[in-house]
A and B are shown apart, each in its own frame.
Chain A
Amino acid sequence: MPPRSDGPEELSITGDDDVVRVRQLVRTYAQQTKLSLVDQTKLVTAASELARNTLIYGGGGFARVEEVNDGRRAGVRASFHDEGPGIPDLTLALADGWSSGSGLGLGLSGARRLVDQFDLDTEVGRGTVVTVVKWKR
């Protein structure tokens, strides 16, 4: 088992090996929060999609991962930050099958289906922050 981490941890995303590191970090938190195996897999898969978006569409950035508690249950929160071009049309970006790049267009919409909470904060010319939370059942 990796050592227990307290508080948020950040990882920069500047290359595709960083996407792998983000997956591993999110899995570490998901395990220590004792999410079920299926929930761990869903969260790590969502994180992988979002970290790749940060890299490809955001031009790089960083991920922040932390354990959270809403008083009733524990969970894992992961956020993905970039200072890229932002997303001009959110409805389009969140639609299945739509992609501005070479992807399948499942990144954002797919990631949203895999988590319990999904927040997207974007401004054209300023960048994008996507925050997801998976709660322990």
Chain B
Amino acid sequence: MERVPILKIGGVLLVSIQIDLQDQSVLALQEDLAEKISTTGAHGVVIDISAVEIVDSFIGRMFATIASISRLFDADTVVVGMRPAVAITLVELGLTLGGVRTALNLERGMKILEQVRRDA
């Protein structure tokens, strides 16, 4: 099973998904992230899915789960870089992502996290 690396940039954890995710990798990522947020005290998590070709219900649910876990550590989550074909497919599949915040790209995602931090 391949693991998705988690990078720390200032107070933000960056997860850039570059592999074809199998379900075990998804579960491992959730655990690794919870661990990392708790040890680093990060205030934000950015999940970059610009290299992800498909998001099915299992992967989609991961975003909502990660956002919920992050929230328990007072951290915000933004999913960035969704491909147009993935967005169209998600809507047709009926997946709402459970109110997970999204942004067009990494830059805007980081801006949103800064904003949330300032307003807090």
Binding site for B on A (CB under 8 A): 16-17, 19-20, 23-24, 27, 37-38, 40-42, 44-45, 48-49, 52, 96, 103-104, 106-107, 109-111, 113-114
Contact = CB atoms under 8 A, between A and B. Distances in A.
Interface bracket on B: 20 to 34
A77 B95 CA distance: 24
Contacts of A44: 53-54
Nearest to B88: A38
A52 B58 contact: yes
Interface of B: 1, 20-24, 53-58, 60-61, 83-86, 88-89, 92-95
B45 to A, nearest CB: 22
B95 A110 contact: yes
A51 to B, nearest CB: 10
Contacts of B53: 27, 41, 44
B20 A110 contact: no
Contacts, number: 72
28 contacts: A16-B23, A16-B24, A17-B1, A19-B22, A20-B21, A24-B20, A38-B85, A38-B89, A41-B83, A41-B86, A41-B89, A42-B89, A44-B54, A45-B55, A45-B93, A49-B93, A52-B58, A96-B94, A104-B57, A104-B61, A106-B57, A106-B93, A106-B94, A110-B92, A110-B93, A113-B92, A113-B94, A114-B93
Nearest first, the 6 A-B pairs at minimum CB distance are: A41-B85, A110-B93, A16-B23, A48-B56, A106-B57, A38-B85
Contacts of A38: 84-85, 88-89
Contacts of A104: 57, 60-61, 95
